[in-house]
Structure 1
Amino acid sequence: MKKVFYIVSFLLSLTAFSQNQVLFEKANALYNEGKYAEAIDNYNAILDTGNHSADLYFNLANAHYKLNNIAPSVYFYEKALQLAPNDDDIKNNLSFAQNMTIDAIDVIPEAGLSKLLKSITNTMSFDNWAKTAIGLVFCFVVLFLIYYFAYSTWRKRLTFIGSITSLLLLCLSLVLAFHKYNLDKKDNPAIVFAQESKVKSDPNSRSEESFRLHEGTKIQVLESYNDWKKIKLSDGKMGWIDSKDIKLLNHI
Structure 2
Amino acid sequence: MKTMIRSSYRFVILVLFMASLSLNAQTPQQLFETGNSQYAQNNFEEAIKNYEKVLDSGYESAAVYYNLANANYKLNRIAPSVYNYEKALALKPNDKEIKNNLEFAQNMTIDAITPLPENTFKRWWNQLLHIFSLDGWAIVTVVCMLLFALSFIIYYFGKTTALKRGFFTTSFVALGLGLLSLALAFQAQSNEKNKQFAIVFSAEAEIKSEPNLASEEAFVLHEGTKVRVLETEGDWQMIRLADGKEGWIPATDIKIL
Structure-2 separation of matches of 1:211 and 1:39: 36
Residue 189 of structure 2 corresponds to 181
Q: Secondary structure at the match of 1:147?
A: helix
Structure-2 separation of matches of 1:128 and 1:43: 31
Deviations 1:208-227 (A, max 9, x none): 11111111011111111111
Give the one of 118, 132, 157 matched to 2:165.
157
Letter in 2 for 1:60: L
Residue 30 of structure 1 corresponds to 38
Give the one of 111, 120, 129 matched to 1:121.
129
Q: Which runs of 5+ in 1 are unaligned?
A: 1-17
Matched, 1:84 2:92: yes
Structure-2 separation of matches of 1:141 and 1:49: 48
Letter in 2 for 1:223: E
Structure-2 separation of matches of 1:228 and 1:121: 32
Structure-2 separation of matches of 1:67 and 1:21: 24
Structure-2 separation of matches of 1:106 and 1:153: 57
Give the one of 223, 233, 252 matched to 1:244.
252
Aligned-residue offset at 1:186 = 2.2
Q: Secondary structure at the match of 2:27?
A: helix
Moved more, 72-81 or 91-100: 91-100
Residue 4 of structure 1 corresponds to none
Larger radius of gyration: 2
Q: Secondary structure at the match of 1:104?
A: coil
Aligned-residue offset at 1:148 = 2.3
Matched, 1:69 2:77: yes
Q: Secondary structure at the match of 1:216?
A: coil
Structure-2 separation of matches of 1:41 and 1:236: 37
Aligned-residue offset at 1:150 = 2.1
Aligned-residue offset at 1:78 = 0.6
Q: Secondary structure at the match of 2:139?
A: helix
Residue 213 of structure 1 corresponds to 221
Matched, 1:169 2:177: yes
Aligned-residue offset at 1:112 = 1.6
Structure-1 separation of matches of 2:82 and 2:28: 24
Equivalent pairs: percent with the same residue? 51
User: Aligned pairs, how many?
Assistant: 232
RMSD: 1.2
Q: Secondary structure at the match of 1:106?
A: coil
Structure-1 separation of matches of 2:245 and 2:210: 13
Residue 102 of structure 1 corresponds to 110
Letter in 1 for 2:172: I
Deviations 1:171-196 (A, max 9, x none): 11111111122222222111000111
Aligned-residue offset at 1:93 = 0.7
Structure-1 separation of matches of 2:141 and 2:245: 38
Structure-2 separation of matches of 1:132 and 1:82: 22
Structure-2 separation of matches of 1:132 and 1:108: 31
Q: Secondary structure at the match of 2:73?
A: helix
Letter in 2 for 1:148: Y
The 4+ residue runs of structure 1 with deviation greater than 4 A are none
Structure-1 separation of matches of 2:166 and 2:28: 55
Moved more, 109-118 or 223-232: 109-118
Structure-2 separation of matches of 1:182 and 1:109: 21
TM-score by length of 2: 0.87
Aligned-residue offset at 1:132 = 0.5
Q: Which runs of 5+ in 2 are unaligned?
A: 1-25
Q: Secondary structure at the match of 1:86?
A: coil
Residue 50 of structure 2 corresponds to 42
Aligned-residue offset at 1:116 = 1.4
Matched, 1:144 2:181: no
